[in-house]
Amino acid sequence: MGNIFLASLIDGLLIGFVYGIAAMGLSLIWGVMDVINLAHGPIIALGMFGVFLLFNSIGLNPYISLIIIALVGLLGGMLIYYIAIHRVLTAPPLSTLLATYAVNMIIIGLGTAAFSTTPRNVNFSLGSLGSGMITVQGTRLVAAALSTIITGGLYFFLYRTRPGKNIRAVANNRAAAELMGIPSDRVLALSFGLGTLLAAVAGGLISTFFPFTILAGGAYELKSFVIVVMGGLGNPIGALLGGLILGVMEGLIPLVLPNTWVPVLEFLLFVVILLVRPYGLFGAKK
Amino acid sequence: MKRSMFVLFSLLVLASLMLVACGPQATPTPAPVQTQAPTSEEPVATQPPAPVEKTAVIGFTASLTGKYNVESSRQTNGLKLWMDQVNAAGGITLTDGTVVKFDSKFYDDESNKDRVQELYTKLATEDNADFLISPYSSGLTAAAAVIAQQYNKIMITTGAASDSTYQQGYTLVYQAYTPASHYLTGALDLLAKTDPEAKTIAIAYSNDSFSTSVVEALKSYAEGKGYTVAVYEGYDPATTDFSALINKIQASAPDAIMGGGHFQDGSTFAKQVYEKNVTAKMIALLVAPPEPSFAELGDAALGVVGPSQWEPEAAFQPDFGPTGEDFVNSYKAAYGEDPSYHSAGGYVAGLILQKAIETAGSLDPDAIKQALDGMDMTTFYGGIKFDTSADNHGLQIGHDMVYVQWQKDANGNLVKQIVWPESGATAPVLYPIR
């Protein structure tokens, strides 16, 4: 019993790091500009396909692909912001929701046409570590390590650099930030780009161990919502902790209940947190 | 502003009209040359040199669009190949000297149940089809079978494994596929034969209705044989992370892992079982292993066993119809691809009908029904025999699944070998696999 508990705990924690990264993208956009990005899932899926295409066409190592995916994600996100979000940002909240939903539909439509919905696999392996019950895939370990580094990097960026501080200032009070001479448009575009970057990178990491289709992002988008609500808006550390909690739940719940109960309990937790601590477990009261 | 809105609106209307106009046409088949109901006036054989020729119409729907497109097209190809071959060979001669040739009438069911009922009604009434063949998949077939029985048409079902269709009291519906309840029981027989010491199995399955009915039958079969089912757990068909479930299985240290569901979950499960170094001696999964792309899993595919309705290599000795080799060659020649078991299923549905008409010697539905009830033959696809009890009428009981296992050939390449039943085996089973 001890072994199976430990094995499931490790599995849960490792996947939790990646959930955290995925949620961070959603959290950042939501926190900074009050936009619920419904294109989050398809962007995760695009990250998966990025790794898949680079790996299958030129045999590029997935972790090197991630750099390209991050860049494309950043620029693509800024493009999406200027085309779809910018003009409806001050309109009623439903408009941004619809705008991102439209982006979501466009990506899914084009993706289905280009890739169909046949499941894909990136045939990349780093072997396994450990023995017996406690066996961990190399790709999952690396994904967890990279996720931690990315979280640290994001934290450093938001709290220690000028553009990062600008983002936080705009998130806090856009009018006041503009009065201080911060170009809020560019800052918002940057935040959206960063959110997209994180989603795409999370997708790229996931693609190294799970199969996926262009629709696969949906499941991670839902998990991201739960995590964002748990971790509090715009808080990278909160998102990471939320991801870890969710991962551990996924690892441990199946030990005592049928595994189909996992989503039920996850969303139960989601509702309870919304009722009891709507600003999240790790978020500050606004 | 108003004007541009109006222009935009009219453009949209125009575009949607064009889409409607370009949509799929209802009838993609040429109309049959000559449609005659089998019960029409008996031909009088007065002049032997000029045999009367009749055309029997076979009605069915195919999923030209929608989720079953690929499998359904293969099934239709198989059926058409049979029809072309029978017609080219001069048709079937009845006892009164009438020569029967076949024509098909089919529609696109869009992989949609509601369309199926509508279209089969049309086939039975307006198109006066003499015989019906089922669509692909258990769900669509269940919907079509009701209509066949209602309008008193004999229907051969293929591409449909579910048992429940034959428990509705139908008397005219006959199944070509091995029913779902027998999909994995053979794997257990294989295990029992290979390793009498094995006692524990773990069952992990996709919780859709097909897979659930397969493992329910497996579980009671296993328990009846004295096995302990240490883990018996369903998972969502969309699951990609099996870690927790695999940990649970690993902790119960089973001799064999069985279950699975469809391609994606089955192949992912097999991959993760391998990555977590699970020590089971045998793994048997539904649906995924017989697919050629299963080999993309590499070493994770090695040793995985899976049931298949038919495999080109299966070495059955047919007493009716072509040999497996002949079928594969003519299918390749006609369609330029290897036949899958869906193709074989389509072909064998025609073959069953042919045998029944030949035995009956007429197109009289009652005589054909009798011939079907008494049928016991071996084709390239395996045995064909139907349950004739009131409770399970039409259920396939003569056909066994073949079990394939991924093994390595002399060059280290993964190849599919048939390991069970022994009469069709191409290689001894690899056991234990790890």
Which tens digits make up the pLDDT trace of B158-192? Answer: 999 888 899 999 999 999 999 999 999 999 999 99
A-contacting residues of B 195-214, CB under 8 Å?
A: 207
**Is the pLDDT confidence value at A198 over 50?**
yes
The whole-number pLDDT of residue B434 equals: 78
Q: Residue A143 and residue B57: Cα distance in Å, rounded?
A: 60
Task: Kindly report the backbone phi and psi dihedral angles of residue A136, in degrees, each rounded to the nearest multiple of 5, phi listed first.
Answer: -120, 135
User: Which residues does B312 contact at the CB level (< 8 Å), separation at least 6?
Assistant: B324, B328, B338, B339
Instruction: Give the three-class secondary structure for B166.
Output: helix
- Residue numbers in A near B251 (CB within 8 A): 1, 3-4, 133
Shortest alpha-carbon distance between residue A75 and chain B (Å):
30
Residue B247 is nearest to which of A7, A258, A260, comparing CB atoms?
Answer: A7
Please give the residue of chain A at the shortest CA–CA distance from B70.
A118
The average pLDDT across B191-208 equals: 93
Work out the pLDDT band at A130, boundaries 50, 70, 90: confident
Q: Which residue has the tokens 């935009």?
A: B8
Q: What is the pLDDT of residue B103?
A: 95
> pLDDT value at position B360?
95
Distance CA B423, CA A166 (A): 75
Hey, which residues 79-98 in chain A have their CB within 8 Å of chain B?
Answer: none
Range in A120-129, B74-83, B341-350, B361-370 the model is least confident about: A120-129
Residue A282 or residue A1, greater confidence? A282
pLDDT of residue B27: 40
For residues B222-227, give the mean pLDDT. 95
> What's the pLDDT at B1?
41
C-alpha atoms less than 13 angstroms from C-alpha of B297 in its C-beta half-sphere: 31
Long-range contacts of A174-179 (CB under 8 A, 24+ apart): none
- A7/B250 Cβ within 8 A: yes
Identify the pLDDT of residue B22.
47
Are the beta carbons of B267 and A211 separated by less than 8 Å? yes
Size of interface A-B (CB pairs under 8 A): 76
Q: Of the candidates B217, B424, B188, which has an alpha carbon nearest to the alpha carbon of residue B310?
A: B424
Q: Which residue of B has its CA nearest to A255?
A: B248
What the block records as the tokens of B347 is: 């072909």
- What is the three-class DSSP state of B27? coil
Tally the domains of chain A: 1
Please provide the size of chain B in residues: 434
Smallest Cβ–Cβ distance between B277 and the set A1, A135, A260 belongs to A135
The answer to whether residue A270 sits within a structural domain is yes
- Domain presence at residue A129: no
> Is B248's CB within 8 Å of A4's CB?
yes
For chain B, the 3-state helix, strand and coil shares in percent, each to the nearest 5, are 40, 20, 40
Residue B120: φ, ψ to 5°: -70, -35
Instruction: Give the ranges where B151-297 is alpha helix by DSSP (H).
Output: 185-194, 209-224, 243-251, 263-275
Residues of chain B with Cβ-Cβ distance to A8 below 8 Å are 243-244, 247
Q: Please name the residue of chain A whose CA is at the shortest distance from the CA of residue B273.
A: A135
User: What is the pLDDT, as a whole number, of residue B26?
Assistant: 41
Q: pLDDT class for B36, splitting at 50, 70, 90?
A: very low
Calculate what percentage of chain B has a pLDDT beyond 70: 88
B421 prior amide bond cis, ω within 30: yes
Compute the distance between CA of residue A239 and CA of residue B213 in angstroms, rounded to an integer.
41
pLDDT given for residue B30 in this prediction: 42
CB contact under 8 A, A15 and B207: no
| Beta bridge pairs of residue B100 | B54, B92
What is the per-residue burial (b if ≥16 Cβ within 10 Å, else e) of A179-209? Answer: eeebebeebbbbbbbbbbbbbbbbbbbbbbb
Render pLDDT for B341-380 as a digit per residue (tens, 0 to 9): 999 999 999 999 999 999 999 999 999 999 999 999 999 9
Helix axes B365-373, B341-360, angle to 10 degrees: 120
In 3D space, the residue among A182, A228, A163, A174 whose CA is nearest the CA of residue A28 turns out to be A228
pTM over 0.90: no
Residue A239, in any domain of the structure:
yes
pLDDT band at B287 (very low <50, low <70, confident <90, very high): confident
Determine, yes or no, domain membership for A110.
yes
Question: Residues B249-265: what's their mean pLDDT?
Answer: 91
Question: What is the pLDDT, as a whole number, of residue B29?
Answer: 42
Residue B371 is encoded by which pair of tokens? 């011939």
Helical ranges in B30-166 per DSSP H? 69-88, 113-125, 138-150
Instruction: Give the residue numbers spanning the domain of A155.
Output: 2-122+137-276
Phi-psi region for residue A184, left (φ > 0), alpha (ψ -120 to 50) or beta?
alpha
Give pLDDT, residue B47. Answer: 54
Contacts of B254 in chain A (CB under 8 A): none
In this complex, is the C-beta atom of B280 within 8 Å of any C-beta atom belonging to chain A? no
Q: Does residue A283 lie in a domain region?
A: no
> Stretch B84-95: mean pLDDT, rounded?
94
Return the residue of B nearest to A261 by Cα.
B235
Query: What percent of chain A has pLDDT above 90?
Result: 69
Q: Residues of B with CB below 8 A from A3's CB? A: 251
Window A:167-206, CB contacts with B under 8 Å: none
Beta bridge partners of A137: A128
Q: Which of A79-93, A244-258, B46-60, B363-377 has the lowest mean pLDDT?
A: B46-60
What's the helix, strand, coil split of chain A in %, to 5? 75, 5, 20
What angle is formed at CA B325 by the lines to CA B343 and CA B174, rounded to 5 degrees? 40
Across all residues in chain A, what is the average pLDDT? 91
Q: What is the mean pLDDT of residues A164-189?
A: 92
**pLDDT at A231 exceeding the cut of 90:** no
For residues A126-146, give the mean pLDDT. 86
Strand partners, B233: B204
Q: What is the mean pLDDT of chain B?
A: 87
Looking from the CA of B393 toward its CB, the CA atoms found within 13 Å total 15
Gyration radius of chain B over CA positions: 24
Is residue B293 predicted with pLDDT exceeding 90? no
Contacts of A211 in chain B (CB under 8 A): 240, 264, 267-268
pLDDT, average across residues A204-214: 92
Q: What's the mean pLDDT in A180-197?
A: 94
pLDDT at B16: 54
Which chain A residue lies closest to B263 (C-alpha atoms)? A119
Please report the domains of chain B, with CATH numbers, ordered by start residue: 53-178+314-385 (3.40.50.2300), 182-308+402-424 (3.40.50.2300)
Q: Is residue A125 predicted with pLDDT exceeding 90?
A: no
- Say whether pLDDT at B40 is over 70: no
Q: Which amino acid is at B264?
A: Q
Here the CATH number for the domain that contains residue A180 is 1.10.3470
Inform me whether the C-beta atom of residue A112 falls under 8 Å from chain B C-beta atoms: no
Contacts of A2 in chain B (CB under 8 A): none
Once rounded to an integer, what is the mean pLDDT over residues B227-249?
A: 92
Q: Is the pLDDT of residue B24 over 60?
A: no
Each residue's pLDDT tens digit, B317-346: 899 999 999 999 999 999 998 898 999 999
